[in-house]
Amino acid sequence: MNQRNLLIYSSGALAIDQTAFEVVERKGIGHPDTLCDTLAEKVSQAYSQYCLRHYGIILRHMVDKIALSGGATKVQFGGGEMQKPTRLYLNCRFTRSYQKETIPYLDIVRETVFQHLGTVLPLLDLDRWFVIVDNTHFAPGPGVVYDADGTSQNERQFFFEIPEKEFAVFHDNNLRSNDTSTAVAYSPLSNTEKIVLLVETTLNSPEFKKLHPYVGTDIKVMARRMRRRLEITVCVPFVACYTPDKLFYAEKLEFLEEFIRNLVQRNFSQYGVKVFLNTRDNPGKSDYYLTLTGSAIESGDEGVVGRGNRYNGVIPFTRHMSMEACCGKNPVYHVGKIYTAVCALISEGIFTQTGLETYVYLTSQMGRSLSDPWSACVEVCGSMANTLQRQLIAEIIKDKLLHVNETTQRIVQGELNLY
């Protein structure tokens, strides 16, 4: 990239764990927004893999606007019934044919969606109570101007070709950004971020679910740190068929509170920890977080891509972060995705090789080469990087931008998950 567009500077900001205040959220795997992010990304991966297997290229597609509309249930302790299906709205676009072959995009979507939801929400009868609404369109987007013979060379500008249909190292520095946007990433994770990840992933792990099947997957964790005092609010859905009565609910809620507190203190003993669970419950009015399937998506809640966890699995309210929704975007040229991944790799590389805590910003310009961003900035927390570290940072940035296509390959193969 042009060195004039590279800036490495120190903001003088404290390292995140040294700050006085921090708030972090984690939406669990069964949360409607997380479901949308994950489904969008998995559909994009599946569609890309199909195109690579059949044509050796990744065709135009964009799955970053899908949404879930909640159904309706009647729930009681010990069971309940569905009354209205949950709907997935495919507000997106796919290339539906190539080389005179029809691409079965709906089959790809259905298989991918049903496989993931069958794992995360095994109690939801997908055949009866889940509907996919096809709102896709196939317009190529602005900038495609057709010649008199009905063809357009511009349609091919975003293809990502793999020689001999194999995943090989392949550089094409002529690939151009399709948007003017900015991506932000940082490294390392703070202790508070690690804590919310630890709590949610533990409660949603297969091992925990095997012992505690009454715990649903639509778990949300919010942690507030004020200096060394840490308070955590956790919303835990109970599954009705595994929760026979109010007494069982109350006993297990008490158990979970103690379990979470011990889990955190065992791994982060430097903090005083207080845990709150299901704070909206009102037993006097029979108001409990009780669900049929383990997720609020069954009962009127909605989900949208981009409203959930950021690329590293948390929502860091007191950190710099991009509002760009990276899940479901085309992994070849859409900077909302590819630059987010590259920023993350750069920041991780800097921390691994120098120990510096940094924020990395990449800003694109529509039509500009992906390997030459409009600007690349690295904000160093604390002391300024020395000359050797600055040189190393510049080399890491140059290397990751030069190998953007390798990042695309890792995204498509599911090696880099951005949710």
Q: What is the pLDDT of residues 320-368, one digit of tens each?
A: 988 889 999 999 989 999 999 999 999 999 999 999 999 999 999 999 9
pLDDT at 282 over 70: yes
| DSSP 8-state symbol, 31 | S
What is the pLDDT, as a whole number, of residue 152?
65
What is the pLDDT, as a whole number, of residue 181?
93
pLDDT at 411 over 50: yes
- Judged by phi (left if over 0) then psi (alpha if -120 to 50, else beta), residue 21 lies in beta
Average pLDDT over residues 191-208: 98
Contact 277, 234 (CB under 8 A): yes
The listed CATH number (3.40.50.300, 3.30.300.280, 3.40.50.620, 3.30.365.10) that belongs to domain 3-18+179-189+308-412: 3.30.300.280
What is the pLDDT, as a whole number, of residue 95?
92
What is the pLDDT, as a whole number, of residue 140?
61
Superfamily holding 192-296: S-adenosylmethionine synthetase, N-terminal domain (3.30.300.340)
Q: In this predicted model, what pLDDT tens digit does every residue of 206-225 receive, in sequence order?
A: 999 999 999 999 999 999 99
Taking Cα atoms as reference points, which of 49, 70, 81, 51 lies closest to residue 131?
A: 70
- Where exactly does CATH 3.30.300.280 map onto the chain? 3-18+179-189+308-412
Q: Token digits for 408?
A: 């695309």
Average pLDDT over residues 394-399: 96
What is the pLDDT, as a whole number, of residue 151?
64
Distance CA 169, CA 118 (A): 35
Q: In this predicted model, what pLDDT tens digit does every residue of 114-159 receive, in sequence order?
A: 999 999 999 999 999 999 999 998 766 666 677 777 666 654 443 4
Distance CA 188, CA 344 (A): 10
- Where exactly does CATH 3.30.300.340 map onto the chain? 192-296
The CATH classification number of 32-165 equals 3.30.300.10
Average pLDDT over residues 270-284: 95
Contact 306, 323 (CB under 8 A): yes
What is the pLDDT, as a whole number, of residue 154?
56
Q: Which residue has the higher pLDDT, 222 or 418?
A: 222
Q: Going by C-beta distance under 8 Å and a sequence separation of 6 or more, which residues neighbour residue 290? A: 75, 76, 77, 237, 238, 240, 243, 249
Distance CA 302, CA 296 (A): 8
What is the pLDDT, as a whole number, of residue 73?
96
Q: Read out DSSP for 267-304?
A: H-TTSEEEEEE-TT-BGGGTB--EESSSSGGGGT-EEE
Q: Read out DSSP for 203-234?
A: HTSHHHHHH-TTB-S--EEEEEEETTEEEEEE
Q: Residue 168 — pLDDT band, cuts 50, 70, 90?
A: very low
0.85 surpassed by pTM:
yes
Bridge-based pairing of strands 302-304 and 358-363 is: unpaired
